Amino acid sequence: MIIVNTETVPGKEITAFHGLVQGNTIRAKHIGRDIGAALKNLVGGELQAYTELLTEARQEAMDRMVAQAEGHGANAIVNVRFTTSSVAGGAAELYAYGTAVTVA
């Protein structure tokens, strides 16, 4: 599966559109990570536990999007966008969407 955020796949031609595909996930942090983050807030710097959590979550959202595209028989997803939103007390929603296409 080719995934790009441009409108076409560079060097290839789109032969069919299969419509919008999307994937989302909502992740909550566990208390240990929150305590670590609170300590980090005193001295500043990267909150690695959060970075990892979000990277995993974004991957999960993308995997769901890819699964949908595969269901449509597509071999690429173009014009992919991401959004993140903060829902209900410390949980984060990661959302990925794009257009499933066939390229040749």
Name 23's bridge partners: 96
Q: State whether residue 95 is helix, strand or coil.
A: strand
Nearest distance in Å: CB 64, other proteins: 15
Collapsing DSSP states into helix, strand and coil, what is residue 21? Answer: strand
Residue 68: CB minimum distance to other proteins, A: 16
- Choice between 73 and 90, CB closer to other proteins: 90
* 3 within 8 A of 58, measured Cβ to Cβ: no
Interface with other proteins (CB under 8 A): 2-7, 9-12, 34, 37-38, 40-47, 50-51, 54-55, 58, 80, 82-86, 90, 92
